Amino acid sequence: MRTVIYPGTFDPLTNGHLDIIRRAARLFDQVVVAIAVNEGKKPLFSCRERKALAEKSVASVPNVVVDSFDGLLVDYVDQKAGQAIIRGLRALSDFEFEFQLALMNRKLNERVETIFMMPKETYTFLSSRIVKEIARLGGDVSNFVPPHVVEALQKKFRRRG
């Protein structure tokens, strides 16, 4: 059984993340979308909320599960008996950080490979951070995230505003 871990903050999950998940699901027996608790990043959605939003988004893809983790990613990959980590690459600007992260993870655990995947080009400009900014300012994000994520963003900002 080939299991791959797709880690991230997913605050919230976007159509770009979904695109990568679907591509990975075609290549591996199981994809584990691993939500990093990442409290240090001060996420807009709690880990539970991010997990619920991701679960609803991938409900129609049979070989994808959603989980959350805290601590070292390579330890989590071992615990899940995963073969590799998937990361999305959007542009050159992602490269430097991702390169550093992948090599550091290899230093920590030789056995774990990192695989980079590119989303459909229409998603290369998409990030959770930009989606949150647009939603906060009352803009339409329905082309960038699944409908239930649009609703969750609207609720969050209505409550805050």
Amino acid, res. 36: A
Q: Select the residue interacting with ligand ADP from 127, 136, 148, 157 (CB under 6 A).
A: 127
Q: Report how far residue 5's alpha carbon sits from residue 160's, in angstroms, rounded to the nearest whole number.
A: 33
Among 21-29, 58-66, 75-83, 85-93, the segment contacting ligand ADP (CB under 6 A)? 85-93
Q: % helix / strand / coil in the chain, to the nearest 5?
A: 50, 20, 35
Q: For this structure, is 2 an active site residue?
A: no
The question of whether 17 is a catalytic residue gets the answer yes
What would you measure as the largest C-alpha separation in the chain, in angstroms? 47
51 binds ligand ADP (CB under 6 A): no
Q: How far is the CB of 128 from ligand ADP (least distance, A)?
A: 5
Q: Is 88 in the site for ligand ADP (CB under 6 A)?
A: yes
| 57 scored as a contact of ligand ADP (CB under 6 A) | no
> What kind and span of H or E run contains 31?
strand 30-36
Which positions are catalytic?
A: 17, 41, 90, 128
Query: Binding residues for ligand ADP, per CB under 6 A?
Result: 8-10, 14, 16-17, 20, 87-88, 90, 94, 119, 123, 126-128
